[in-house]
Amino acid sequence: MNKTQLKKAFNTGGYQIGASKPKMIAWYIINLLFFKSGIIPSSTILVFILKIFGAKIGKDVRIKPFVDIKYPWKLKLDDYCWLADCQIENLAEVSIGKNVCISQKAMLLTGNHNYNLSTFDLITGSIVLEDGVWIGAKAIVCPGLTIKSHAVLQVGSVATRDLESYSVYQGNPAVKVKQRKIQDVAAC
């Protein structure tokens, strides 16, 4: 039976960081000081810093302290998004639509390894969260997925395939448990 050979460098499959070494070092320091530490509670300042590092961010985006973003230059946030103290491990592009909420300790994971190969090659896949999506606390979105318009991934659930629009998913792996029905606030 063959064994993995992690002592040898695994194949990155052409993966590109997309930034120079000085930019990487600068981001590493800024990320530690201002994002991971929670020292700056102001969303406006955090958004400004992310934009300096190449994130594309719409209007009125809220970013909470302790958010962990791997590479801001591979991140697109549309208008009115909320990021709690989540983790965006964006080895590939992450695109987040309007009015999306990513809750506490949730993770968007764009990379994994091919456990079938002895070299444990890196596999990456972009993530798209369409408008109105809610990713619950401690939920995980796996690489290469699209979470369609207004879908909900409940607390602690793991999305391993695309989620249908206006649907609520739960579990590991997440399965559809019901349709999402959004009530008009004026009607309540």
Residues 6+ apart with CB under 8 A from 107: 86, 87, 88, 89, 139, 140, 141
10-residue averages of pLDDT along the chain (188 residues): 60 72 93 90 93 97 95 98 96 97 98 84 93 98 98 98 98 98 79
pTM score, whole prediction: 0.91
Per-residue pLDDT reduced to its tens digit, 108-138: 999 998 888 877 788 899 999 999 999 999 9
Q: End-to-end distance of the chain based on CA atoms, in angstroms?
A: 63
CB 162 within 8 A of CB 146: yes
CATH topology of domain 21-178: UDP N-Acetylglucosamine Acyltransferase; domain 1 (2.160.10)
Which pLDDT score is estimated for 5? Answer: 64
- Sequence-ordered strand ranges (E) for the chain: 56-57, 62-63, 68-69, 75-77, 82-83, 87-89, 94-96, 101-102, 107-109, 111-113, 122-124, 127-129, 134-135, 140-141, 146-147, 152-153, 158-159, 167-170, 175-179
Which residue do the tokens 């999402």 mark? Answer: 180
Rounded CA separation 81/68 (Å):
16
Residues 6+ apart with CB under 8 A from 46: 34, 35, 40, 63, 65, 67
Torsion of CA 80, 82, 83, 88, to 10 degrees: -50
Domain parsing of the chain, residue ranges: 21-178
